[in-house]
Amino acid sequence: MIKLDAMENPYQWPDDMIQGWLEQIRAVEMNRYPDTQAVALANRIRAAGLIPVGNSLVFGNGSDELIQVIMLTVGGHGRKVLVPVPSFVMYEMIARFTDTEFVGIPLRDDFSLDAEAMISAVREHNPAVVILAYPNNPSGNLFDREAIVELISECNGLVVIDEAYHIFSKASFIDDLDQYDNVVVLRTLSKMGLAGIRLGYMTARREWLTQFEKVRLPFNINVLTQLTVEFALQHYRVFQEQAERICRERTRVERIMSSLDQITPYPSDANFVLFRCGECDAEEVFQGLLQHQILIKNLHRPGTALQNCLRATVGKTHENEAFLNALSLLVTSDYSLQ
């Protein structure tokens, strides 16, 4: 299978980088517990410029654990989380697991943020948490920044800005945290190219992080994860170059998909492209791609905003070409990939 379903970075590390990493792994004392505060890791993240130097961090096993930490801290019975939908499915799942009422506010037809509807919902529901994926998953777009700022000012509760795809979008609220007392920025290194390591982090005012630390399990980030990320971020430029390559491929993929009569791709600031099938059936297209040994994400749900929609991760050039060629064969008989 050509695997284009999980928004993974398709590029492995260079060989010399792998060798350097293996040398460091040999020195790990596996019989010792990890540093529960991951101080060296936090310092490396600051040194890589991923957060402002003075900011504190809370770490989790990917974004999922951190979303759970937030919900356990400020959610629960009688409280609400407000999310524009469709968005990352774990927001709703974790809300349910923590007995927090989930309130979904539909995005506009083009998947842009309906700011008026969101603000109206904030005033009506007074949510304990508002979560905004920036860029959004599964649509890939960045919500209007001014609308987000206005929403932050309207919220009495916490506003979580999930920047899982920040390395592709270059857009962030992380340098503006000192302006807000109710904003948390959430990130993961999975999309950057460390999906197998499962490391997420969040930063906010120290008062919030102190409360989150009461809920976070001790020793949740193991020694191999800490060492691996410390080493990887010494080579952060490698991941930046890979992200730049992915963005260039994304532009090419969007352009070619736009030339297909039956396909409507939505503009993306992430490492994937959401697209809607026209007269052709999304389920049939998905199954047809499987027959060509290409796996993408089937988001088709009849009667929802994602009806007839599929999502493809941007892979390596030859993987994208295989996907585009197969897609073109499935939706038209006379298209030739250029």
| Span 96-148, pLDDT tens digits | 999 999 999 999 999 999 999 999 999 999 999 999 999 999 999 999 999 99
Mean pLDDT of the 228-249 span: 97
H or E element, residue 253: helix 236-258
Spatial separation of the C-alpha atoms in residues 230 and 215, rounded to whole Å: 25
Model pLDDT, residue 231 = 97
Q: Do domains 2-10+237-331 and 29-235 have the same CATH topology?
A: no
Q: Which is nearest to 69 in space by CA: 221, 195, 174?
A: 221
To the nearest 10 degrees (0 to 180), the angle between helices 317-331 and 282-291 is: 130
The reply to whether CATH 3.40.50.1220 applies to domain 2-10+237-331 is: no
Cα 319 → chain centroid: 22
* pLDDT of 338 over the 90 cut: no
Question: What burial letters (b/e) apply to 49-58, b meaning 16+ CB within 10 Å?
Answer: ebbeeebbbb
How sure is the predictor about 280, in pLDDT bands with cuts at 50, 70 and 90? confident
Burial tier of 121 (Cβ tally within 10 Å: 0-12, 13-18, 19+): buried
Question: Please, are residues 316 and 242 in contact by the beta-carbon 8 Å criterion?
Answer: no
Structural domain boundaries in the chain = 2-10+237-331, 29-235
Among 65-79, 248-262, 324-338, the range scoring the smallest mean pLDDT is 324-338
Model pLDDT, residue 279 = 83
Q: What is the mean pLDDT of the chain?
A: 95
* pLDDT of 334 over the 90 cut: no
For 29-235, the fitting CATH number among 3.40.50.2300, 3.40.50.980, 3.40.50.80, 3.40.640.10 is 3.40.640.10
* pLDDT of 333 over the 80 cut: no
How sure is the predictor about 332, in pLDDT bands with cuts at 50, 70 and 90? confident
pLDDT in tens, 31-53: 999 999 999 999 999 999 999 98
